[in-house]
Chain A
Amino acid sequence: MNDNRIEKHPNLRETNSSDEELIIDIEKIMEEIRLQIKNEQPKEVVPSLDEIPIPDTSTHCEEITDEEDWETFIDSFQEASQCYDIPYYWELPSCGIKKFAMRVVRKLNKFVLSPILERANHFRFLIVQCLNQLRFFVDDEKLRNRQMSGTIEWQRNEIAALHKEIDELRRNYTELIGDVAALKLHTEDNNNKKAGCNL
């Protein structure tokens, strides 16, 4: 430990180049360091974190599909957020000597039970907090899904309309092809007739 931070490190050679100077040019020190490193033979390339595969820590979560399940979840969460903090001195149900004895026992055990309860309360608080965040997350996902299903529905309608349009175009195209063929035939006939007249 270095209380004044100026003590000598026992295992290190010490430099004291600028001890008396009032101003030290840190940029100059860094330039020196960069130059030294540049002039040295490169020692090694330190492996990068990219060489380490990402460990899989994901856990499987079952999707909430039933709206009723979600309501139960919200109800339970609301109840949990109201009562996660359990006080050490709760109301004792009995009365008289029995209550007095219970109070004495509770007082005597306080030094053991109170820190445990405090930690348990903290743990419960964290769980409630997580649930709250999860609730927002799920709500957000549900909203996104709703928007997505709306978009999908709209896209389906669009596709159906486009299909209709294609069918119409196909029909028109077939009719047009027929007309063109008839026209061709008619033109050929006319040409033949003209040729016959000329002969």
Chain B
Amino acid sequence: MKIIQITPSLNPGDAVGNDILAINDYLKKEGYQTDIYSENIHHKIPKGTALSIKKLPKFSNDDVILYHGSIGSDLNYKLPKMGGKLAMIYHNITPPNFFALYSQLYVDATQIGLDGMEYLADKISYCIADSEFNKKCLQELGCNCKIDVCPILIPFEDYEKEPDVSVIRKYSNDGYTNLLFVGRIAPNKKQEDVIAAFYYYHKYYNEKSRLFLVGNWRGLESYYQRLCLYVEKLDLKGSVIFPGQISFSEILAYYKIADAFVCMSEHEGFCVPLVEAMFFKVPIIAYDAAAISETLGDAGILLSEKEPSIVARAIDRIIRDNGLRKYLNRKSDERLCYFSTENVKKIFKNCIDGLENE
């Protein structure tokens, strides 16, 4: 059986890109004949790793097309006509309404993505979803085929790399408490709620504190600028830092200096940064929405509300209570076992076996 992975875009470092590359390695090791085809291949992807979509061969009926569904692409309409057994790994698409105030392009792109998924829904023979939440979304889109849940394969070995020294030197050992959120600056991530909670924490609990909102805002400049104005209004300029698009070593450094990870996101198909925070032993406070509770498990404080006073007190508690942090560290380790490469590969193997039997 030949398994072909197809994706609209292959980028190094992002969750979907990492997943594709890890699956490729795994399939090769398992002896499958496999290739990656993509419409856009980032130049940092080593040559020969993936091929242009233009070079797609003809498929036989036994071949499996493993399509990574994440953004709008005309591939959604082309793939069903290409033959072979069509399966999909669904990484979720953010609902367009989140972008309505900020970018018509994003509204259209996500709507095209959802329309494409709806079109594909009854043409797929098997599906893998990153989370139960994604599975539910797929079913709502009209997908009636078998859907198994398999977490994203996370390259933990990359997290052992050297963090950026300049970031660590600049923001550590100065008596400040560093709060962190990592994720694209986007309306569905609700950075404004993190800022509001931080405002309360900074003002009433610990004025020697900082908030880092790591992530790039490309394409959503108006949202980013609105957040900047919000920070100014709350008199937090200098205390809330947007590092923008940064290197991987810098991201590692921000995890290293963080004392707590605060996530108020309202739409996540999986949320890799939560697992990263667990890996770096950064205690997590997160709002219970979408796939957050599934990924977090009991390895952090899950909030059912966003009231800044409550979030701020939870942050204060997690920062000051050694026992609680120790407990969450232990829980994080337990949770990380579930996301370990071996375990996810085992789950993925079951999925592939299921796919063969479909």
Among A2, A19, A20, A54, contact of B226 (Cβ-Cβ < 8 Å):
A54
Q: Is A1 an interface residue (CB 8 A)?
A: yes
Q: How big is chain B's contact interface, by range?
A: 35 or more
A137/B109 in contact, CB under 8 A: yes
A53 CB contacts on chain B under 8 angstroms: 226
Q: Is B246 an interface residue (CB 8 A)?
A: no
Q: Is B105 an interface residue (CB 8 A)?
A: yes
A6/B326 in contact, CB under 8 A: yes
Q: Which residue of A lies closest to B259 (CB)?
A: A2
B308/A46 in contact, CB under 8 A: yes
- CA separation between A106 and B327, bound complex, in Å? 58
B327/A57 in contact, CB under 8 A: no
B108/A19 in contact, CB under 8 A: no
Main secondary structure of the interface of A (DSSP, over half): loop
A47/B324 in contact, CB under 8 A: no
A55/B317 in contact, CB under 8 A: no
Q: Which residue of A lies closest to B72 (CB)?
A: A136
Given known pairs A26-B301, A52-B233, the reply for A137 and B324 (CB within 8 Å) is no
A11/B309 in contact, CB under 8 A: no
Given known pairs A46-B196, A46-B199, the reply for A18 and B43 (CB within 8 Å) is no
B314 CB contacts on chain A under 8 angstroms: 29-30, 33
A30 CB contacts on chain B under 8 angstroms: 301, 303, 310, 314
Residue-wise, chain B 302-331 has the 8 Å CB interface mask toward A (1 for contact) of 110001111001100101111111110100
Number of interface residues of A (CB under 8 A): 54
B322/A33 in contact, CB under 8 A: no
Among B101, B102, B173, B329, contact of A6 (Cβ-Cβ < 8 Å):
B329
Given known pairs A26-B298, A85-B43, the reply for A15 and B320 (CB within 8 Å) is yes
Among A17, A58, A137, contact of B321 (Cβ-Cβ < 8 Å):
A17
A55/B327 in contact, CB under 8 A: no
Given known pairs A33-B313, A46-B200, the reply for A11 and B229 (CB within 8 Å) is no
Supply 13 A–B pairs (Cβ within 8 Å), ascending by A.
A1-B173, A1-B257, A5-B281, A5-B329, A12-B319, A15-B320, A16-B323, A18-B327, A37-B307, A49-B227, A52-B233, A55-B225, A128-B40
Task: Please report A residues at the B interface, Cβ cutoff 8 Å.
Answer: 1-6, 8-21, 23-24, 26, 29-30, 33-34, 36-37, 42-43, 46-49, 51-58, 85, 121-122, 125, 128-129, 132-133, 136-137, 140
